Amino acid sequence: MKSPQLPLDAPYNENQRAWLGGFFAGMHSHLIQSAGSVSQADSRLITILYGSQTGTAEAVANDAAAVAKTYGLKPLVKSMDEIEADALSAIDYLLVITSTYGEGEMPDNAQMLWDSVCAATMPRLEGMQFSVLALGDTSYDLFCQAGIDWDVKLAELGATRVYDRADCDVDFEEPAERWMTAVIPHMAGGAVTTIVETDPRVIDKPEYHRKNPFPAKLLVNRLLTDASSSKETRHYEISIAGSGLTYEAGDALSVVPTNCPELVVAIINAIGCKGDEYEPVNGELMSLQLALREHFEIKAPSKELIEEIAIRSGDQELNGIIETGNKEQLADYLWGRDTLDLLLQFPLCEFTAAEFIALLKPLQHRAYSISSSGKQYPDAVHLTVASVRYDSHGRSHKGVCSTFLADLVNAETSVRCFFTPNKVFRVPEDNNLPMIMVGPGTGIAPFRAFLQERQYRNAPGNNWLFFGDRNAATDYIYREELENFQESGLLTRLDLAFSRDQDAKIYVQDRMREQGAELFLWLEQGGYFFVCGDAYRMAKDVDQALHDIIAMHGKFSEQQAIDYVNQLKKDKRYVRDVY
């Protein structure tokens, strides 16, 4: 079990959903091959393998393929679960593009291939030339670990690294582009390119994306949980009318928040500034107050800020933890603390505006699973969001984006947003196939969208939802809708697990085990198994329950059950949207 993290709605990277939308949109030049250069490389096949949890690495892989084509190469883009380990020995030119999931783990679609590559029976790869692009987030200890592991393993197996691995932080577009335009010429044998300016009149209007979010309006902000609940979960409806944007059930909406103004003022006071100090930010001169409000992550302290506070304060405990490099101990120390807590703890640690800004990370978007079908709601997108609020170290704390939506957005406020497609987390194309959906708490969000999608399609396939939370009386969100879905026959089965409504806690995985025989029958009938929600407890417990159910009711050995689940993953019939 990993160390407990701060109960914040932390920014999502590729592990938790950054997106490359519009990577090439608006570029004013493109690469054109000369005839001689094309003939040099046009028979050369380059394989691009991606490991992706939610779609970013796949998008980057497709963009790398586009660049490869300009060099006369023949790119073959494959998900890591679409290739067997033995096939790697036949690849001469390989690009690996992978995100890192959770705390240094492989993405779901990469795990099986990785396990095979690490096996003692894995053949040598002396004939291969390769390079790795790793996507990650420096706020995690094991930054880009999946990419690092691939880079090391391929070299250990005898492959030749033709270009050094590039490790990308959350703002990955520019380093990813540099890597592509550097490594691909190596793969093409040094083919010569000519830069040709494109007539601006033929450039398509840029789409809304991470660098250019759509300024949407909030239409609905409704409390879903009861006022007496220990949680605060809200339903939002955001207008995308006139944007030209579309989305599918299973996608996510990324929201660019602004920081709490009271927190901004408190931090400015704590560092000994006034807020009217002007500093350059992204090429623009602005006040410290505006910079902290709109441009920097001020809730979760960066590693650099923590280390600088330790140095300036001279605190023996904090310095001792940092010097030992004990990540578990540091996580325990930071539990419940945010940037302001650290500054208040060491009031003699004052900073100039420039010093403080230099120690902060950029403010990132937060991605939320969409809880509506774009077919039923083409002009609006629905979100189901738990507002993060807690008391710690003598202060009330609030999540950045969840309370931005709950408290700060009004009729005059734009919700800057863009879509994060998830091409794998989709309602089955075959409307007759069964769906099993496990989504406790806000994990119900995409499955509300899935049910709306099935309703729109008039799909005859069976639908089974496992849902739960703490208490039925206060936390049964969307109860009326679910009951209506049941009455109409759309929702074939609904199994509920409210953990605190009885002495012994009951969770969704317990309900799965109770209905194991029926669940296995649905899988045997070609059913899809979807999971959404907490990655570190619920998703792992559900995964173990699934293996146990398959072993028991399929009369399989442990290894046979693993093989069965792996086949479900390969067939994209076991898909997770976990965070």
Q: What is the pLDDT of residues 401-413, one digit of tens each?
A: 999 999 999 989 9
Residue 195 has pLDDT above 70, yes or no: no
Residue 398 amino acid letter: K
CB 40 within 8 A of CB 191: yes
Q: Average pLDDT in the 16-41 region?
A: 39
Q: Average pLDDT in the 87-101 region?
A: 95
Q: Categorize the per-residue pLDDT at 28 as very low, low, confident or very high, splitting at 50, 70 and 90.
A: very low
CA separation for the pair 64, 340 (Å, rounded): 42
CB 258 within 8 A of CB 404: yes
Residue 359 has pLDDT above 60, yes or no: yes
pLDDT, tens digit, 9 for 90 and up, residues 281-300: 999 999 999 999 999 999 99
Q: Average pLDDT in the 313-338 region?
A: 93
Higher pLDDT, 108 or 532: 532
Tokens in use for 241? 């009318």
Residue 91 has pLDDT above 50, yes or no: yes
Q: Average pLDDT in the 435-447 region?
A: 98
Q: Average pLDDT in the 314-329 region?
A: 93
Find tokens 């296995």 and name the residue: 520
Residue 1 has pLDDT above 60, yes or no: no
Lowest mean pLDDT among 100-104, 205-209, 521-525: 205-209
Interacting residues of 370 by C-beta distance below 8 A, sequence separation 6+: 247, 249, 250, 251, 252, 253, 381, 382, 383, 445, 446, 449
Residue 318 has pLDDT above 80, yes or no: yes
Instruction: Give Dmax over CA atoms of the chain in angstroms.
Output: 76
Q: Which of 496, 500, 511, 509 shows the shortest CA–CA distance to 546? A: 509
pLDDT, tens digit, 9 for 90 and up, residues 497-532: 999 999 999 999 999 999 999 999 999 999 999 999
CA separation for the pair 120, 525 (Å, rounded): 36
CA separation for the pair 4, 335 (Å, rounded): 7
Q: Does the CA dihedral 170-175-179-180 come out positive or negative? A: positive
Look at residue 161 in the predicted model and tell me its pLDDT.
96
CA separation for the pair 561, 567 (Å, rounded): 10
Q: Average pLDDT in the 85-104 region?
A: 92
**Rounded percentage of the chain residues whose pLDDT exceeds 90:** 80
Residue 10 has pLDDT above 80, yes or no: no
Q: Categorize the per-residue pLDDT at 32 as very low, low, confident or very high, splitting at 50, 70 and 90.
A: very low
Class of residue 254 by CB neighbours under 10 A (exposed 0-12, middle 13-18, buried 19+): buried
CA separation for the pair 517, 436 (Å, rounded): 13
Q: Average pLDDT in the 195-205 region?
A: 39
CA separation for the pair 308, 245 (Å, rounded): 43
Q: Tell me the average pLDDT of the chain.
A: 89
Look at residue 190 in the predicted model and tell me its pLDDT.
55
Q: Categorize the per-residue pLDDT at 17 as very low, low, confident or very high, splitting at 50, 70 and 90.
A: very low
Phi, psi of 470 (to 5 degrees): -80, -60
Higher pLDDT, 136 or 268: 268
Look at residue 480 in the predicted model and tell me its pLDDT.
98
CA separation for the pair 528, 522 (Å, rounded): 8
Lowest mean pLDDT among 38-42, 240-244, 365-369: 38-42
Look at residue 209 in the predicted model and tell me its pLDDT.
86
Residue 467 has pLDDT above 60, yes or no: yes
Residue 493 has pLDDT above 70, yes or no: yes
Q: Categorize the per-residue pLDDT at 43 as very low, low, confident or very high, splitting at 50, 70 and 90.
A: low
CB 210 within 8 A of CB 59: no
Residue 24 has pLDDT above 70, yes or no: no
Look at residue 314 in the predicted model and tell me its pLDDT.
95
CB 159 within 8 A of CB 126: yes
pLDDT, tens digit, 9 for 90 and up, residues 46-79: 999 999 887 889 989 999 999 999 989 999 999 9
Q: Categorize the per-residue pLDDT at 356 as very low, low, confident or very high, splitting at 50, 70 and 90.
A: very high
Interacting residues of 346 by C-beta distance below 8 A, sequence separation 6+: 309, 312, 313, 315
pLDDT, tens digit, 9 for 90 and up, residues 246-258: 999 999 999 999 9
pTM of the full structure: 0.87
Look at residue 191 in the predicted model and tell me its pLDDT.
45
pLDDT, tens digit, 9 for 90 and up, residues 125-167: 999 999 999 999 887 778 899 999 999 999 999 999 999 999 9
